[in-house]
Structure 1
Amino acid sequence: MYAEERQQAIARQVATEGRLSVAQIAERFDVTTETVRRDLTALEGLGLVRRVHGGAVPGTALTTLELALGERDTANTEAKAGIARAALAQLPPAGASILLDAGSTTARFADALPAHHRLVVYTHAVSVAARLAGNPAVELHLLPGRVRPETQAAVGAVTVAAVGALRVDVAYLGANGVSADHGLSTPDSEEAATKRAFVAAAERVVALVDSSKVGVETAVRFAELDEVAALVTDAGIEPGARGALEKAGVEVVTA
């Protein structure tokens, strides 16, 4: 494996797992710890990771790295399942309408929706729609647009226009990054435009984000914190980050 290939793989694994030690990386890639430290220095210079004592965490710079949906779906699976279950407490009354974003955590939330709680659900995510198609309590609407392979979700002007015609009770959103300074963000501008339309269309916005994304900032902000009513995450969230979000008026719910 060439150095560039190894560094790209390291960046993806750090982004997926949230934190890796130098020793773990050295063992996985069968290289010396000195080589790992050089790789991490190079990746930090690109803003893809941040060096911490003994290892690395995802970069808090404006990161452009984006994992494909399949890779994200295998990361932090227990935490995401817990978030999905905890988010059920954020459901509106029966008969209400919701928007459901693309993403591995929102997909698990779709799986968790009860078969006895009637809802009108709008989504632009093919994988989310597939999970909901058999739920007898859901009146499902799949939004139009060009499907982006990385997220299996419709994006573009057609999608944004379709969302703009809606007014729903709650929008459930995923994010690649959440921070007190930068709000909710994602690396892709088309994804951001669709998420921004979701925010504008909803009476209430709930973010479903695992703790590895908290404190991370990616390139395009799609929501300010004052537009988000609640963030449902896992118990791994750092106390300082939680405090900053709550100070900004976001209700933080931990699974």
Structure 2
Amino acid sequence: MYATERQAHITRHLAERGRVSVVVLADDLGVTTETIRRDLDALEHQGLLRRVHGGAVPARAGSVSEPSIAERMTVNSDAKRAIAHRALDVITDGYRGAVVFDAGSTVGAVAAGIGERIAATGARLDVVTHAVPVAHTLSLLPDIGLTVLGGQVRGLTAAAVGPSTLSALATLRPDLAFVGTNGVSAEFGLSTPDPAEAAVKTAIVRSARRVVALADRAKFGVESFVRFADLDEIDILVTDAAPDRPLAAALAAAGVEVWLA
């Protein structure tokens, strides 16, 4: 395969997945990792991507860049729906408990499917969220108790943040939390670009007895600006692809269950 063909493959997969891995690309294309690194260097020189540890991300991506909730809903939407469907398996027959929903498009997909899950399992839930879109979705369900946390709403994510949100979360001890993330890596854990959003995510993680993190494959190896949880602070990672060897090893060492959609 010529360099131009390889590089076209790389840019196509980058557009689809939001990140590419040197090791995965080398396996896919049957070439050495050194060849892939040279291709990535060439594409970075053209301004088509940005090199990061182990691979590359789109040129516009950075540790503090953050798409809006509307943009997120259009990216990897099939994967997010599949992840949400798998994550709802944590709600078993006759489940009783309090559940916190974080902000984010994948968490929103969980909220969209929970009514059907309640009907199938006979679950009874008291639900808390700080995310306006999630609150709207859940408000339409007749069979749950819903509490919406206040605070200053960030336009980018439509989620409440700030002291009042953190103060409310400090009084809670939910049985379960569904948490979204912008990145998950072996070295840095779970991360997100905004410090205020990260503070709320940390509060949710630390309040819940069981934490279910949701991340499609494009989040693997991504390290956003602010870490909000170490790997050993989550119980289950639900994703659409098996993590690469370093991340899989780190998750196993941290005692995290990996559920594939």
TM-score relative to the length of structure 2: 0.77
Where does structure 2 lack aligned partners over 5 or more consecutive residues? 1-12, 21-41
For 1:16 and 1:127, how far apart are their aligned partners in 2?
25
What is the match of residue 100 of structure 2? 99
Deviation at 1:62, TM superposition (A): 6.9
For 1:50 and 1:147, how far apart are their aligned partners in 2?
33
Deviation at 1:119, TM superposition (A): 0.5
- RMSD across aligned positions (CA): 2.8
Equivalent residue runs for 1:20-169 within 5 Å: 37-40=45-48, 43-44=50-51, 52=55, 56-57=56-57, 63-91=63-91, 94-113=95-114, 114-116=117-119, 117-169=123-175
Residue-by-residue CA offset, 1:128-178 (whole Å, 9 max, x unaligned)? 011111112211111010110110000000100011111100111000011
For 2:43 and 2:237, how far apart are their aligned partners in 1?
38
For 1:246 and 1:35, how far apart are their aligned partners in 2?
34
Which of residues 184, 209, 212 is equivalent to 1:178?
Answer: 184
SS of 1:75's equivalent in the other structure is: coil
Matched to 2:153, the amino acid is V
Matched to 1:18, the amino acid is G
Deviation at 1:15, TM superposition (A): 7.8
Q: Is the 8 A contact 1:51 1:57 kept in 2?
A: no
Matched to 2:99, the amino acid is I
Equivalent residue runs for 1:221-232 within 5 Å: 221-232=227-238
What is the match of residue 250 of structure 1? 256
Deviation at 1:241, TM superposition (A): 2.5
For 1:165 and 1:99, how far apart are their aligned partners in 2?
13
When residues 16 and 81 of structure 1 are mapped into structure 2, their CA distance, relative to the original with a 3 A threshold, is same
Where does structure 1 lack aligned partners over 5 or more consecutive residues? 1-12, 21-33
Deviation at 1:239, TM superposition (A): 4.4
Matched to 2:164, the amino acid is V
Residue-by-residue CA offset, 1:57-76 (whole Å, 9 max, x unaligned)? 358x9711111111111011
Q: Between Structure 1 and Structure 2, how many residues are aligned? A: 224
When residues 38 and 62 of structure 1 are mapped into structure 2, their CA distance, relative to the original with a 3 A threshold, is closer
